[in-house]
Amino acid sequence: MSISQYNYEAYFLDYHEGKLDAHATKELMDFLAHHPELKEEFESYEPVSLNDKEEIKFEGKESLKKSLTPVNANNLDEFAVQYIEGTLNAESKAQFLNFIKLNPVYENELALYQKTKLTADNSIVFADKELLKKRDARRPAVWYYWSAAASVAIIIVAYFMLRNNSNNNGNNNGVVVNNNHVTDTIKHAVQNIQTVQTPVQNNNVQVPVTIQRSNKQEKATTYYVKKSQHETPVVNAPLHDSAKAVVQNNPIIQKHDSVAVTPAITQPTDSLTHIAVKDFHDSLQNTFTANNTVPVKKKSVFAFVGNAFKSIGSIFNRPVQVNKYYSASSDKVIAYQLSVGDEKLTLRLKNNAY
């Protein structure tokens, strides 16, 4: 390859680095003789060397080196701490102890490190441990708090339910029923009884039976139950004392029905008294009023509990009802029944039988 204006730089560089042979050198000199304008550039290719490499030094070279002996004065602290911590393997541990043995000047260092091991001060104790302990082993705390909150909610709802019932009862005449189940019962009971529009006719008494559903938005329905003056109403079920009082003090029943309040059962009847008594037994939320004159026990504990369950049922949109059953021979309660929809849970009291 001959020298030209396109490759002369490579020849210049090789010449200065001593890589050109005699023939190439003669050729390069001839080229420069013919091109004197390149002579200055040729001379500028003087070899350049960096001569300051000896001036800049890394001072920490020794610290980077790995010692042929694992333990030395530079890493003594690390070995000592690992020795105290118990994290040295057997080989390193032996090397470390051997180093200390060969260099007794470091024995004190090791002794000081050994003193840094803390020991618990057993005189410091938590004196009130018994206060921390829990007695109820079965009930998780979360459930306990939720139960407490639910109980409070039930009490509040039941209170307002009772208060509303009390207000409603004061404005109604006749039999007020707050239970859908009883509603059906009464409907069935009166379906064969002639319904009239006029409250009072000759020889007849029409007693309004008002059915008020628990859903207050539903309009109350009033049934007029006709009773013949000659018909002898009877009670076909044992009467609770309160029921007796209701019936006996009911001026409508007494005045027009000639009610014979007696446990003796002669024949089944759909008399108004029967409806009233059955209603009283079936639903503890029933309240009998007649012309606002009949005293009724409105806020018994059982009624309170019943309302609470009904409130729960209304929250979950399911009919919940609590009933109690009486002995056939006395006024004693023999069983309680909780109904949730079609499911019933009966609790029979001891020492009682149907």
- Closest to 185 measured CA to CA, from 261, 313, 281, 265: 281
What are the φ and ψ backbone dihedral angles of 176, each rounded to 5 degrees? -105, 125
Binding other proteins (rule: CB under 8 A), the pick from 49, 55, 104, 126 is: 126
Interaction of residue 104 with other proteins, rule CB under 8 A: no
Task: Indicate the SS3 state at residue 224.
Answer: strand
Burial class (CB in 10 A: 0-12, 13-18, 19+), 258: middle
Encode burial over 193-211: b for 16+ CB neighbours within 10 A, e otherwise.
Answer: beeeeeeeeeeebbbbbbb
In the chain, what is the straight-line distance between the N-terminal and C-terminal CA atoms, in Å?
130
Binding other proteins (rule: CB under 8 A), the pick from 23, 34, 115, 230 is: 115
149-156 contact pairs (CB < 8 A, 24+): 154/308, 154/311, 154/312, 155/308
Binding other proteins (rule: CB under 8 A), the pick from 112, 149, 150, 265 is: 112
Task: Indicate the SS3 state at residue 116.
Answer: coil
Interaction of residue 22 with other proteins, rule CB under 8 A: no
What does each C-alpha distance from 57 to 4, 54, 60, 67, 113 come to in angstroms? 45, 7, 9, 21, 36
Binding residue count for other proteins, defined by CB under 8 A: 34
Give the shortest CB-47-to-other proteins separation in angstroms. Answer: 50
Interaction of residue 347 with other proteins, rule CB under 8 A: no
106 DSSP assignment: G
Binding other proteins (rule: CB under 8 A), the pick from 22, 48, 124, 347 is: 124
Interaction of residue 50 with other proteins, rule CB under 8 A: no
Interaction of residue 105 with other proteins, rule CB under 8 A: no
Cα of 38 vs its chain's centroid, Å: 92
* CB nearer other proteins, residue 43 or residue 78: 78
Task: Indicate the SS3 state at residue 186.
Answer: helix
* CB nearer other proteins, residue 28 or residue 110: 110
Residue 332 contacts residue 326 (beta carbons within 8 Å): yes
* CB nearer other proteins, residue 66 or residue 129: 129
Give the shortest CB-316-to-other proteins separation in angstroms. Answer: 25
Give the shortest CB-67-to-other proteins separation in angstroms. Answer: 19
* CB nearer other proteins, residue 56 or residue 120: 120
Interaction of residue 140 with other proteins, rule CB under 8 A: yes
Interaction of residue 141 with other proteins, rule CB under 8 A: yes
The interface mask with other proteins, positions 74-103, x = CB under 8 A, is ---xx-xx--xx------------------
Binding other proteins (rule: CB under 8 A), the pick from 132, 200, 301, 347 is: 132
Reading the block at residue 104, the tokens are 């007794």
Q: Which residues bind other proteins (CB under 8 A)?
A: 77-78, 80-81, 84-85, 108-109, 112-113, 115-122, 124-126, 128-129, 131-138, 140-142
